[in-house]
Structure 1
Amino acid sequence: MRLPVKIAIGCAIGACVIVIFGFIAFPKMIKGKVKKMVNLDKDSEIRKMFVKVPFALDFKVYLFNVTNPMDIQNGALPVVQEVGPFCFEEWKEKIDLADGDEEDVMFYNPKDTFYKANWPGCLDGSQMLTIPHPLILGMVNTVARTKPGMLTLVSKAINSIYKTPDSIFVTAKAMDILFDGVVINCGVKDFAGKAVCTQLKESPDLRHVTDDDLAFSFMAPKNGTAGKRFKVLRGVKTSHDVGRILEYDEKKEMEVWPTKECNQYKGTDGTVFASFLAKEEGLASFAPDLCRSLVAVYSGDTKYDGIPVRIYTATLGDMSKNADEKCYCPTPETCLKKGLMDLFKCAGVPIYVSLPHFYESDESYVHGVKGLNPNKKDHGIQILFESITGGPVAAAKRLQFSMPLEPNEKVPLFNKLPSTVLPLFWVEEGVALNNTFTGPIKDLFKIKKIVKITTWVVLVGCLGGLGAAAYLFFAKKGEANITPVHKVKPANETNGISTVGTDGFGGQVNHAMSDNEIEKY
């Protein structure tokens, strides 16, 4: 077999092997290995992290201090000053675990626990702040929507419980507002006050300080308290379903919104996602506090600690224009504008949720309060997502909670209030994985990079070898093989070497015969 043919066969075999391994077998091997790892089976490493996150999330709270409370009582627009951050470590875990092997499901109750953190730049919580009193404002707004005929009774109860206040605002320490509690004196004896206090004492969100005194705070009711029960798929049988919610609070769908579509649970609880998600699928997660699922959409690519990741962002949409979000309107005829959602049907209190500073919301909300400065960097929701392992490597989830201000003639304290939405506080739940957790992902990408480079180098080498073999083959084909011819010298010609004893052709000469005798023959 000629050399060019041997080279061509060797390079062709090498190219086929490297293509099969580098471009087909190796990626499939990685994909299969990851899918076997990313599930919530009883002995999987991912389940251990899912059940108890091995690190604390950064939880920051920013409160809005109202600087002109008495002007607002007379109809002026609110002027607010953002104060914060107040920082906490948030530890997430799942308790009361149970499995259903046949259905490939698991059950759990989530529990979040907060601990005060003193990171650089964080405030200690001793700051005195003025905010609208959530119970006064919330109670009047709720009764105005549900039982407006009882507003006169509520007005009397406010005067009794809060000692005839001159405004709807309260001033207290930041930590009292957030966790420790602002005291409400419910030791009143009048009919209206006792009627309202009886209802307040039954609320699970208020702490009982004494038999007569209650305390409210924004964050304490959720601190270390088990949430309602989840039923999710483990993803052992179908990896793409890992963490997908089947039931919440023992219900297959919510009973909050007017349409089946909006009552469905979409996605996971936000702590686990399937690997190898397509970009267009987005990251869907259910938020119990909002009674809805949010879908973060793909918006670009970047790198985190050297790892290629996708950027996902999320908003609250626009129920006033998007047909799919009309179900979140307070009534079929009245919808909030872009960026806001009313949680009354979910929480039972008229609380509005949005992005901080009304970022990505209708401009009228921003202009309804002085002192806001919405911007993408500080107030947007962003998730950096590594799609192979299905894990967020960094995230900043931010939400703002506000209450509507509305004048009400039946409650003297509300007579002159302006019509606007007043922000109370906003929170940021953040995570940024360090090298302990990104290291294994980086190692995976290093292996992939080495295999990729090796594959291309060998493939290019094989293709080059095929080209060289073709050149040699066709170059040889155009050549002619010529057999060399030896020149015969005359007998009488010498070449400087004695011919004595030879005939000039290398034969022996018979000296017994003369030249004449030779001629005879």
Structure 2
Amino acid sequence: MRTETKFVKRFLKLIFPQLGTAEKGVKLIKLSVRTYKTTKRIREARMKLAYKVGIGSVGMFVFIILFGWIAFPKILSNKIKSMCTLKEGTDIREMYLKVPFPLVFKVYMFNVTNPVEVTAGAIPIVQEVGPFVYDEWKEKVHIEEDESEDTMTYTIKNTFIFNRELTKPLTGNELVTIPHPLLAALAMAVERDKPSALSLVNKALNSIYRGPTTPFLTASVQDILFDGVYILCNVSDFAGKAVCAQLKMEATDLVEVEPNIFRFSIFGPKNGTLGQRVKVKRGVKNSHDLGKVVEFEGQTELEIWGSEECNTYQGTDTTIFPPFLTKEEGLVSFAPDLCRVLAAYYVDDTKYAGLPVRRYSADFGDPSSNPEDQCYCQAPDKCLKKGVFDLYNCIKAPLIASLPHFYLSDPSYVNGVKGLNPNAKDHEITILFESMTGSPVAAKKRMQFSLPVHALAKVNVMKNLADTVIPLFWVEEGVELNSTWTKQLNDQLFKVLKITKIMKYLILVMSMGGMGAAVYLHYSRKKEVTITPVRSTETSNGETNRSNVISMLGQNKALGGHVNHAMSANEIDKY
């Protein structure tokens, strides 16, 4: 045993003379073997890690694409659609039936400063007075539902309460002069329908109004709007009695305070009383039908306009809209007070209290040039110019609706009156709309009412009038959701959407990074240096193969040592 050990040591000392000792050669061989095995284990571990990272990252990528961009939007959409219905028990239904806060209702009067001159043929000069502010409480009562049709029928009820604080320094007692809503309007209506009766009307007006000198009324704003101005029908002449009887039978905005003595006001008869009856879709079966008008005053379509298209109800009742409307669809609604459809068009995207919203606006179009608006004309050859709308067929009064100060209307209307200053900031219709839930978060609906006049030869106080349109007043119905409502919408919807968006992009980036790491781990193996271990192979009788020994000698030289040229393979056999 000792002889063999000595032999190995002497043999190694001859092969590795630069190492000094045989023990160092043994250690080198063992180190080479361990290095090989370690390298192999690392290589196998890297391969397994690459596969694991790759498979996990691909799975994560597929999951986030399917869930984050396909499944989650559908889940959210279905959830919102189920919430945005008029089905009993939903929050939207409660708010729809009774708005829990008042809308701000502003009225601006046009005071005619030169009524005597206008009576003689001069151009009217007007002065805007206002705003007179009222709290408008909206409610829908006498509810009936039909689940098979998925409809709800209700009666409109609006209540106005004078807001003194917001009206200051005005009080409502200010005197203004406007074209007389009954005297002048009655004459213009008769001239339109029965011109042969103008002589009778002239006599009746002289009797009822005790010989007026102008077709204008001077009264307080509060009387004109709500309290009422007197109409004295306690007359004895035939003409006066005939006209009063007709007024009593047809006029719905007259209040009899004493026998044959009436009060007339613009909004008084509508304040706190029952209005029109409307049937709408509840949106339970089809969310896109939410709020859609299907009947108005018991009729499935109107019968007052010149075409089926204009007589067909389209859109909602203006107080609610379906979720997920596109920009191209606009905000289409049927306005009961106008007996027509109005479509608000998309303007741009903006923010309201941190919420992403769309801005919409609307106008009255141009019946003189747009074929779609011509069905609202009195006759095909009697269309009004751009920006105004004839209300006669709807309310049986010769009034014209437009935007305030004739904004976006034909210049002839602005030029026909002095004192107007149309501008977008004060006079356009604006709606800020959250499209995902179909919620108007802020709106300013503005509209002006005017009386078209011209000379009537058979009516004494109107025979010299210039041909023009005199504005009476304009209103703004405004609403702005406060922080209580916007915070609720933000917390329940948009914060969830924001967190979800961040998470899905974070997971997407992580999964793509993982796939990149897996590819790197896989291909980096090709750049590794393989260390070949020093192995001794033995023959069947235990002898060492001489070629391996010689190979070791060559490797030893490559390692910086030297070959013992004094020994040959035959000399090794001596040992």
Same fold per TM (> 0.5)? yes
46, 62, 66: which is aligned to 1:16?
62
27, 33, 38: which is aligned to 2:79?
33
Change beyond 3 A, Cα 1:488–1:245: same
Superposed CA RMSD: 1.7
Residue 447 (structure 2) aligns with: 399
Q: How many residues align?
A: 493
- Paired residues of 2:50 and 2:521 also in contact (CA < 8 A): yes
Residue 297 (structure 1) aligns with: 345
The superposition leaves residues 16-53 of structure 1 with CA deviations (integer Å, 9 ceiling, x where unpaired) of: 12222221222111111100000111222211111111
The residue identity in structure 2 corresponding to 1:425 is F
The superposition leaves residues 192-220 of structure 1 with CA deviations (integer Å, 9 ceiling, x where unpaired) of: 11111122223221111211311111111
Q: CA deviation at 1:121?
A: 5.0
Q: CA deviation at 1:63?
A: 0.4
Identify which range, 471-480 or 451-460, moves more after superposition: 471-480
Does 1:485 pair with 2:531? no
Residue 352 (structure 1) aligns with: 400
Does 1:328 pair with 2:328? no
Secondary structure in 2 matching 1:228: strand
The residue identity in structure 1 corresponding to 2:424 is K
Quick one: distance in 2 between partners of 1:228 and 1:396? 23
In structure 2, the gaps of 5 or more residues are: 1-46, 536-547, 551-572
Quick one: distance in 2 between partners of 1:108 and 1:412? 46
384, 387, 407: which is aligned to 2:432?
384
Quick one: distance in 2 between partners of 1:303 and 1:153? 59
Residue 213 (structure 1) aligns with: 261
Larger Rg: 2
Task: State the TM-score, normalized to the length of structure 2.
Answer: 0.84
Quick one: distance in 1 between partners of 2:489 and 2:104? 22
Does 1:162 pair with 2:209? yes
Q: CA deviation at 1:434?
A: 0.7
Residue 241 (structure 2) aligns with: 194
Residue 39 (structure 2) aligns with: none
The superposition leaves residues 159-216 of structure 1 with CA deviations (integer Å, 9 ceiling, x where unpaired) of: 1111111101111111001100111111111111111112222322111121131111
The superposition leaves residues 53-103 of structure 1 with CA deviations (integer Å, 9 ceiling, x where unpaired) of: 111111000000000001101111000000000011111111111111111
- Paired residues of 2:133 and 2:166 also in contact (CA < 8 A): no
Residue 503 (structure 1) aligns with: none
Residue 472 (structure 1) aligns with: 521
Quick one: distance in 2 between partners of 1:24 and 1:291? 43
Residue 514 (structure 1) aligns with: none
Q: Which runs of 4+ in 1 moved over 6 A?
A: 486-489
The superposition leaves residues 385-431 of structure 1 with CA deviations (integer Å, 9 ceiling, x where unpaired) of: 00111110000001100001100111121111110000000000000
The residue identity in structure 1 corresponding to 2:401 is V
- Paired residues of 2:132 and 2:167 also in contact (CA < 8 A): no
Map 1:105-184 → 2, pairs under 5 A? 105-122=151-168, 123-184=170-231
Structure with more of its chain in helix, by fraction: 2
The residue identity in structure 2 corresponding to 1:156 is K
Q: CA deviation at 1:118?
A: 2.2
Residue 515 (structure 1) aligns with: none
In structure 1, the gaps of 5 or more residues are: 490-518
Task: State the TM-score, normalized to the length of structure 1.
Answer: 0.92
499, 502, 505: which is aligned to 1:453?
502
The superposition leaves residues 358-407 of structure 1 with CA deviations (integer Å, 9 ceiling, x where unpaired) of: 00100000010000010111110110000111110000001100001100
The residue identity in structure 2 corresponding to 1:152 is S
Q: CA deviation at 1:472?
A: 2.1
Secondary structure in 2 matching 1:369: coil
Q: CA deviation at 1:477?
A: 2.4
Residue 76 (structure 1) aligns with: 122
Q: CA deviation at 1:488?
A: 8.1
The residue identity in structure 2 corresponding to 1:294 is L
